[in-house]
Amino acid sequence: MDGVAIGIETANDGSGTGQPMTVILYESSTNPPTLASLTLIAGASVSVPDSATGTLFNVALTMPPALEVATGILEIEVFTPNGQANSHSFFMGSNDADQSGPSLIRSAPCGIA
């Protein structure tokens, strides 16, 4: 894996210069994962340009990650700071295809632990 493709529903920074995003990859030894079970294995900080609905944004990783054990679970964290004051908005992409694993969300400002 040389990178991660992030699905974008909407990305608009208000000025056309891009908005910051941090992508962090973790390995977890528990299923479902817990915060305590996460081990950092890779990450990158990028600038996301304005994007059309249904696009993919590729985030390059300088160090390709490797899971420590074959049964390890890969968790990907996507962080964008609150950009409302600067008219920034970002919504993750999704689809209606069947998924085989759970998706997790946490957001301290929204009260979601």
pLDDT in tens, the chain (113 residues): 578 888 888 888 877 788 889 999 998 888 878 888 888 988 999 999 888 778 889 999 877 777 676 777 888 899 888 888 877 888 888 777 776 666 777 777 778 87
**Secondary structure in 3-state letters for 5-41:** EEEEEEEECCCCCCEEEEEEEEEECCCCCCHHHEEEE
CA–CA separation, 13 and 87 (whole Å): 6
Backbone angles phi, psi at 37, to 5 degrees: -90, 0
CB 58 within 8 A of CB 82: no
**Six-digit token pair at 21?**
């995003």
Cβ proximity of 10 and 3 under 8 Å: no
- 3-24 as b/e, with b when 16 or more CB fall inside 10 Å? ebebebeebbbeeeeebebebb
